[in-house]
Amino acid sequence: MITRRKFLTKAAIFGTALVARPEDLAFSSGSGAGSLTAPLLHSGRGETLITILHTNDTHSQIDPLPANDKLNPGKGGVARRATLVKRVRKQNPNTLLIDGGDVFQGTPYFNFYKGEVEYKAMSEIGYDVGTLGNHEFDNGVDALAAAMQFAKFDLVSANYDVRGTPLESRVKQYVVREIKGLRIGLFGLGISPVGLITPANFKGVTYRDPVVAAGEVVKTLRETKRCSMVIAMTHLGYYPEPRGGAIGDSQVAAQVDGIDFIAGGHTHTFMEKPVRVRQPSGRETLIFQVGKSGVYLGRVDFAIRSGKIVAAAGRLLNLRDESLA
């Protein structure tokens, strides 16, 4: 059992540990390491390649999982993720790193530091945008707001109305990023708090229907903000077949036009590659979720020509498994 003193000593060197050596990634040399950062698509003349890297449900897993973990021994860890993200960005500077929520809860890092370590780690890795999962509210709205001072990236939620709460200055409905002249809109959606979040811990925040909220924000991003691409970070869950009226990623995509990609979370679903769901207009939305605890990094590449997506491909990036290299 780790003592508090040992834990604090270990955490004190966290900032240094974030800079992993190439050999810490446990890749083979040569094509093994390189292929993880190679583009999934080859852009043609006049095309721009946009890479989206994403995580979800990392649950305070700062260190790699223990060697005796039954499912993913030794996998993950923020240092390896930081190094891999750096490599991908070096290969394609047109890269965004996003998260689908439940950054908090799961290890003593959260128990002791109440979200500070998680948001600091994400900031050092270089996250661009994240959304809120139900576990972000485990210590209440005030504690979440206090932790957010360590997040040097944007946090978005279109269906959690945080007006009048300590979160109001930090949580936006959406943000717009411009890459190579392309405007990319990013927004978040959170799950219903009923049965998941203690009412006192959600005090002052109003939950809105995610389908309604998504329809409104996508309209704004497409028509008012002139975005060529729209990405959602959701903490709703993946339910390919509706059950009990659950509204997950597939249900949002099937009812809302204009979402190009959903980086999902909540159900800890390990997908090998993105799935496609048809929108009302007949276009398709890609949905991808990469399990839990940060053992994988999701990657989706989009080839864009004249402001339109002409091709897309995605895969899991496994920080330990050389068979995926």
Element (H, E) at 311: strand 308-318
For the stretch 98-141, pLDDT in tens is: 999 999 999 999 999 999 999 999 999 999 999 999 999 999 99
Question: How far, rounded to the nearest angstrom, does the alpha carbon of residue 279 sit from its chain's CA centroid?
Answer: 22
For the stretch 142-161, pLDDT in tens is: 999 999 999 999 999 999 99
Phi, psi of 262 (to 5 degrees): -115, 115
| Sheet-wide strand order for 284-288 | 174-179, 182-190, 229-235, 261-263, 284-288, 275-278
- Closest by Cα among 60, 119, 122 to 85: 122
Q: Is 111 helix (H, G, I), strand (E, B) or coil?
A: helix
Contacts 24+ apart (CB under 8 A), 140-143: 140/200, 140/201, 140/203, 141/165, 141/166, 141/167, 141/201, 141/202, 141/203, 141/204, 141/205, 142/166, 143/114, 143/115
Count: domains in the chain: 1
Question: How far, rounded to the nearest angstrom, does the alpha carbon of residue 20 sit from its chain's CA centroid?
Answer: 21
Q: Assign residue 162 a region: left if phi > 0, alpha if psi is -120 to 50, beta otherwise?
A: alpha
Strand pairing category for 171-172 and 129-130 = unpaired
pLDDT over 80 at 28, yes or no: no
pTM: 0.89
- Closest by Cα among 228, 205, 230, 206 to 217: 230
The whole-angstrom separation of Cα 30 and Cα 76 is 21
For the stretch 233-276, pLDDT in tens is: 999 999 988 777 889 999 999 999 999 999 999 999 999 999 99
Domain that holds residue 83: 4-324
- What's the CATH code of the domain at 117? 3.60.21.10
DSSP state letter for 235 = E
Between helices 116-125 and 78-91, what is the axis angle to 10°? 20
3-state secondary structure string across 144-157: HHHHHCCCCCEEEC
* Bridge partners of residue 278, in order along the sequence: 284
* Bridge partners of residue 96, in order along the sequence: 52
Mean pLDDT for the chain overall: 88
